[in-house]
Amino acid sequence: MYRKLVLVGVAAACLFVAACSNESQEGKSSTSTAGQETASASSSKTPEQDFDPMQKYDPPVEVTTVRSMNPSIIWDQGESYDRNGVYAAYENDLGIKIKNLWSVDGSQYDQKVNIAIASGDIPDLMQVNSVQFQQLLDADMLMDIGEIFEKYATSYTKEYVTRDGGGQLDSTKINGKMMALPYTNGVHNDSTYLFIRNDWLAELGLQPPKTMQDLEAISTAFTRNDPDRNGKDDTFGLALQKDLMSGSLGLQGFFNGFHAYPNIWLKNEAGELVYGSIQPEMKNALAKLKEMYANGEIDKEFGVKDLAKEAELIAQDKIGITYGLFWTGNYPLQAGAVKDGKVIQDWGVYPIVSADDQIAKAQLQKSTGLYYVVSKKAKNPEAIIKMYNQSIWAMDAPATDPNAAKYVKGKIQIEGGADQTYYVLNPTFVGKQDRFPVVGKAISKALAEKDPTLLPDSELILYDFMTDYLNGNTDHWGYAMQLKQGGTLETMYQYTQENRFVFNEYFGALTPSMAEKNSTLSKKQEEVFTRIIVGAAPLEEFDSFVEQWKSLGGNDITKEVNEWYQTVR
Amino acid sequence: MRKKHKINWPFHAMLFPGVLLVFVYCYIPMAGIMIAFQKFNPGKGVFHSPWVGWDNFRFVFAMEDTLQVIYNTVFIAVLKIVVGFVVPILFALLLNEVRKTLFKRTVQTLVYLPHFMSWVILGGILVDILSPSNGLVGKAISFLGLEPVFFLGRNDWFPFVLVLSDVWKEFGFGTIVYLAALTSINPSLYEAAKIDGANRWKQTIHISIPGIVPMIVLVGTLSLGNVLNAGFDQVYNLYSPLVYERGDIIDTLIYRLGLESAQYGVATALGLFKSLVSFVLIATSYFVAYRFANYRIF
Residue B94 lies in a domain: yes
A61 DSSP β-pair partners: A96
Q: Are residues A485 and A550 in the same domain?
A: no
Q: Are residues A211 and A304 in the same domain?
A: yes
- Selected residue of A251, A307, A523, A533 to mutate for chain B interface (largest B Cβ count, 10 A): A523
Residue B127 lies in a domain: yes
Q: Are residues A495 and A508 in the same domain?
A: no
Residue A255 lies in a domain: yes
- Give residues with Cβ within 8 angstroms of B193, minimum separation 6: B202, B203, B206, B207
Q: What's the CA gap between A282 and A263, in Å, rounded?
A: 11
Residue A8 lies in a domain: no
Q: Are residues A299 and A347 in the same domain?
A: yes
Q: Are residues A240 and A314 in the same domain?
A: yes
CA A343 to chain centre: 27
Residue A527 lies in a domain: yes
Q: Which residue has the higher pLDDT, A389 or B146?
A: A389
- For B212, the domain range is 66-247
Residue A23 lies in a domain: no
Residue A513 lies in a domain: yes
Domain boundary among A499, A514, A546: A499
The pLDDT, as a whole number, for residue A130 is 86
pTM of the predicted protein model: 0.83
* Residue A277: C-alpha distances to residues A255, A283, A384, B184 (Å): 10, 9, 40, 64
C-beta atoms of A305 and B244 within 8 A = no
Q: Are residues A533 and A494 in the same domain?
A: no
Residue A390 lies in a domain: yes
Domain boundary among A499, A518, A553: A499
Q: How many domains does chain B have?
A: 1
- A219 contacts A325 by C-beta, under 8 angstroms: no
What burial class does residue A449 get, using C-beta atoms within 10 Å of its C-beta: 0-12 exposed, 13-18 middle, 19+ buried? exposed
Nearest beta carbon to residue A304 from set B63, B240, B256: B240
Say if B129 is an interface residue toward chain A (CB within 8 Å). Answer: no
What burial class does residue B104 get, using C-beta atoms within 10 Å of its C-beta: 0-12 exposed, 13-18 middle, 19+ buried? middle
The pLDDT, as a whole number, for residue B4 is 64
Residues of A contacting chain B (CB within 8 angstroms): 114, 117-120, 131, 135-136, 138-141, 242, 244, 300-301, 303-305, 309, 515-516, 518-520, 523, 526-527, 529-531, 534, 536, 552
Say if B263 is an interface residue toward chain A (CB within 8 Å). Answer: yes
Residue A382 lies in a domain: yes
- For A467, the domain range is 435-499
Residue B223 lies in a domain: yes
Q: Are residues A267 and A330 in the same domain?
A: yes
CA atoms within 13 A on the CB side of B149: 10
Residue B292 lies in a domain: no
- Residue A334 has φ and ψ, to the nearest 5°, of -50, -40
Residue B33 lies in a domain: no
Radius of gyration of chain A (CA): 25
Q: Are residues A399 and A444 in the same domain?
A: no
Q: How many domains does chain A have?
A: 3
Q: What's the CA gap between A107 and A70, in Å, rounded?
A: 10
Domain boundary among A499, A522, A552: A499
SS3 A339: strand
Q: Are residues A486 and A470 in the same domain?
A: yes
Residue B70 lies in a domain: yes
Residue A349 lies in a domain: yes
Q: How far is A234 from chain B (nearest CA, A)?
A: 10
Q: CATH number, domain at A158?
A: 3.40.190.10
- B77 contacts B230 by C-beta, under 8 angstroms: yes
Q: CATH number, domain at B236?
A: 1.10.3720.10
Tens-binned pLDDT, residue by residue, of chain A (569 aa): 444 444 444 444 444 443 443 333 333 333 333 344 444 444 444 444 578 889 999 999 999 999 999 887 889 999 999 999 999 999 999 999 999 999 998 888 988 998 898 888 899 999 999 888 988 998 899 999 999 999 999 999 999 999 988 889 988 988 889 999 999 999 999 999 999 999 999 999 999 999 999 999 999 999 999 999 999 999 999 999 999 999 899 999 999 999 999 999 999 999 999 999 999 999 999 999 999 999 999 999 999 998 989 999 999 999 999 999 999 999 999 999 999 999 999 999 999 999 999 999 999 998 888 999 999 999 999 999 999 999 999 988 877 788 888 898 888 877 776 667 788 899 999 999 999 999 999 999 999 999 988 988 778 888 988 999 999 999 999 999 999 999 999 999 999 999 999 999 998 877 888 888 888 899 999 999 999 999 999 999 999 999 999 998 999 999 999 999 998 77
